[in-house]
Every structure is written in C-alpha cells, then in structure tokens.
C-alpha cells in the first residue's frame, strides 16, 4: 500500500487537493498535509497596516512577540497598542498576532465558506499574524486542528511528524524560562517554504515552528476543541444547578457495619447510585447542554443588548416593507440540533425550541431580509425578536448591509 503523501498540489481541487470526504478520512485529526496552491492566485484580504490598525482597537485581542536571537529570549506584550509602537520595531524578529479577525473584517470572514466541509460550530476563528523577516512565535504545539494559509510573503514551516510516521509521540516538554509555551526540544521531520495561496494543515499536538523568510502575513483557521476538564466542569455545574434537592444519598439497605469507621464497598455502591440519579440520561437534555456550551465556548466577547429595539410589530413591518434587514452580530455563534420534537436553536449559550426549518435557517443566516423573515413560523419570528433584544441581531438599512 502506498504511503499517504505529506505534500500535494491542489490543482483544480482546492482548497484541499482532494474530495473533502477523503481528507476527513485520511488526514483530519490524524496527519499533517501541505497543500500547494490551495487558493491559486490568492490575494490577501487585508494588508499589514490594516492588521496594525486593528491591534490598536480596545476590544481586539492582540499580541506582539519579539525574539532576541543573541540570548534566545522572548518578549510578549498584549494589546491594544499605540500606533507609534510599530514604526520603532525594526525590520526583523517580531510578530503581531490578532485573534478573531473574521469578526472584524468581512473580507477575512469570506474565507470561511471554503471550510464548509467542517461543522461550523467547530471553527473558532481566523487569527492573522504579520511577521517581520525572521519573526516567529517559536516551536510549539496546539491542542486543536489548524489550517495555516499564507497570505503575503513567505514563511518557512518546520514540523515534527514523528507520530504520523509511526515513530511515537515527540517530546512535549516546555521551556520554563519564557512566557510562551515553547518546546524544550524540537527535531523537525519536514520543512517547507510557503508562498501566497499555499496552506499547511496540522492536527492537534504536532510540533511546528514557522519563521518569516521576508515580511509575511499568515491566516490561521483554528478549531474549537474544549478539554475534558472544561466539558466536565460545565456539565457538572449544569447538573448541580438543575439537580433535584430531594435526590440524596440514601441507605435503607444498611446492614450492621463490621467497623463503624469504615467507608465500605456497599457505601460506595450507594454513592454511585446517587450520582447516577442526577446525570443526564435524557439524550435531549444532554444535547441541549452541549449546544449551549459549544456556542458559548471561547467567545472572545460577550454579546450584550444595546439600545432597545422597536416593538416586534414595527420590526415586522420594516422587514416586510423592505426598509430594513437584520444583521447577526459577528461574535454571536449559532448552531442547531434535532430534538425529540422539532429542533433546538443555540445562539451564544441561549436556547430556542423551533421547527427544524426555522432552526436550520437561523443557524445559517448571518443576514435576514424580508423573504427570510416571512418564511419563518411564528415561533421563529419570536426567536428573532428575542435575539434582537439580546443584541445578537441589529437592524440595518438594506443599502448599508
């Protein structure tokens, strides 16, 4: 059997270079892949000066990382930054990173439909980094899948694919002398220089190190991957909040103890029984918890209600007359799931019981116009009004949308 390649040319089959089903079967969460010409003739949706401007915004999440080659020291600063910081940085060995650029820039967000082969709720954000020549964030691992798309310039990527080659897991020890979680040891098995339109896919925990060959810009499409501890913490909090106080430890089968100070096996069996009594055995209840959790997980900003919207009947009239559209807040995350009856729509941790058609439509739509709104049931329109009140939608004139 021929070994799967680590490098391909996408050709006419961008951005993966193969049918999505094959990529998911052979590479997703399993094996790194360099895809040359994933986006042929790619033109970066934003320029370095745009990224610098965004890093000066109060609500943008940004970092500046500088590397001192002489001492192998690293300096990390968090934004927002003053505009006069950037001219003084020089032309070597620094990197600016900004999270959630897809929420701020519509042209960057326009890349996301190219990744529709993945569940939308799994995609976290598009982070954009600009690096001066020699700029890097050091050798590290990520706990999530990531697609690294080269936008401008050239970046030299080195990876350690030992695990995919059947050589076992590479070392994961971190340095203790820097703020960043940098690997203490890094021995790459592959290295490539990526140009505009090339894309590197990395599964979780693959050691990698990218160094700018010249001034370059990279767009990172990262996934949401909550840890078991995060899942358990939220799940247990939900169980505790919803638990029936009357469900308690009980021992009507108590036998005369051999030692009154011993916690014996029979006691522990009753403890397990008490815990099992409050766990989510109902698939609908469990699915609703996960929908709320996942649409609220890692939200960079909490969406809050602004000025009170017009009454529902006025909103309906504006939409029906084509005088307004509804735009979803870029930081509002939506997903839906089938339920025992109909469906559930989840938006940034909120939950709505809706017909399947409405839930599917509202989870997908970042813009609602008159036909979209008219196609909703009464329950769907009520959900839209609630989301408008919570700040997840804003009213806009059609010509401004």
User: What mean pLDDT is reported for the chain?
Assistant: 94
Q: What is the pLDDT of residues 377-392, one digit of tens each?
A: 999 999 999 999 999 9
Please return the burial class of 301, using the count of CB atoms within 10 Å of its CB with bins 0-12, 13-18 and 19+.
middle
Question: 3-state DSSP call for residue 398?
Answer: helix
Closest by alpha carbon to 209, among 155, 154, 146, 152? 155
Closest by alpha carbon to 131, among 101, 109, 111, 151? 151
312-400 and 7-223 share a CATH fold: no
Q: Which residues contact 122 (CB under 8 A, 6 or more apart)?
A: 223, 224
Q: What is the mean pLDDT of residues 144-162?
A: 98
Kindly list the distances between the CA atom of residue 346 and the CA atoms of 324, 377, 392, in Å, as whole numbers in the listed order.
Answer: 24, 17, 12
Neighbours of 111 (CB within 10 A): 19
**348 torsion bin: left (phi>0), alpha (psi -120 to 50), beta (else):** left
CA 374 to mean position of chain CA atoms: 32
Distance from C-alpha of 7 to C-alpha of 17, rounded to nearest angstrom: 10
DSSP 153-215: S-EEEEE--TTTTTS-PPP--B-SSSSS--BS----SEEEEE-TT-EEEE-TT--EEEEESSS
Q: What is the pLDDT of residues 295-342, one digit of tens each?
A: 998 877 888 888 889 999 999 999 999 999 999 999 999 999 999 899
Class of domain 7-223: mainly beta
Q: What is the pLDDT of residues 257-275, one digit of tens each?
A: 899 999 999 999 999 988 8
pLDDT-derived band at 282, boundaries 50, 70, 90:
confident
Break the chain into its structural domains and give their ranges: 7-223, 228-279, 312-400
Q: Which fold has domain 312-400?
A: Malonyl-Coenzyme A Acyl Carrier Protein; domain 2 (3.40.366)
pLDDT-derived band at 249, boundaries 50, 70, 90:
confident
Scan for tokens 């079967």, then name that residue.
25
pTM (two decimals): 0.92
pLDDT-derived band at 2, boundaries 50, 70, 90:
low
Lowest mean pLDDT among 50-59, 195-204, 297-306: 297-306
């Amino acid at each position: 059997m021929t070994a799967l390649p680590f490098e391909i040319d996408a050709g006419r089959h961008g951005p993966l270079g193969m049918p999505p089903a094959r990529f998911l079967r052979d590479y997703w969460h399993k094996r790194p892949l360099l895809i040359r010409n994933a986006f042929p003739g790619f033109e970066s949706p934003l320029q370095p000066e745009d990224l610098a401007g965004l890093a000066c915004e109060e609500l943008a999440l940004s970092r500046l990382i500088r590397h001192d080659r002489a001492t192998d020291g690293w300096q990390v600063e968090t934004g927002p930054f003053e505009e006069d910081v950037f001219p003084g940085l020089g032309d070597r060995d620094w990197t600016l990173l900004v999270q959630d650029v897809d929420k701020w820039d519509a042209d960057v967000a326009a890349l996301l439909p190219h990744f529709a082969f993945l569940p939308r709720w799994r995609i976290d954000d598009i982070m954009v980094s600009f690096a001066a020549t020699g700029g890097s964030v050091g050798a590290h691992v990520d706990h999530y899948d990531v697609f690294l798309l080269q936008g401008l310039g050239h970046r030299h990527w080195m990876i350690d694919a030992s695990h995919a080659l059947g050589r076992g897991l590479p070392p994961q020890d971190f340095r203790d002398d820097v703020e960043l979680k940098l690997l203490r040891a890094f021995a790459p098995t592959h290295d490539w220089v990526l140009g505009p339109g090339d894309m590197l896919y990395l599964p979780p925990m693959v050691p990698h190190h990218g160094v700018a060959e010249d001034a370059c810009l990279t767009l990172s499409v990262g996934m949401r991957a909550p840890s078991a501890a995060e899942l358990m913490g939220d799940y247990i909090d939900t169980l505790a909040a919803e638990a029936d106080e009357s469900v308690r430890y009980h021992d009507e089968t108590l036998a005369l103890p051999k030692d009154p100070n011993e916690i014996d096996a029979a006691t522990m069996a009753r403890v397990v029984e008490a815990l099992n009594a409050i766990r989510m055995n109902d698939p609908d209840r469990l699915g609703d918890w996960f929908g709320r959790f996942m649409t609220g997980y890692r939200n960079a900003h909490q969406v809050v209600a602004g000025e009170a919207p017009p009454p529902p009947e006025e909103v309906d009239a504006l939409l029906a007359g084509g005088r307004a559209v509804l735009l979803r807040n870029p930081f509002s995350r939506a997903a839906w799931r089938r339920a025992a009856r109909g469906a559930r729509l989840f938006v940034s941790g909120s939950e709505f019981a809706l017909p399947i058609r409405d839930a599917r439509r509202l989870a997908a739509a970042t813009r609602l116009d008159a036909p979209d709104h008219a196609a909703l049931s009464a329950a769907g329109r009520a959900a839209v009004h609630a989301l408008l009140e919570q700040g997840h939608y804003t009213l806009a004139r059609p010509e401004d949308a």
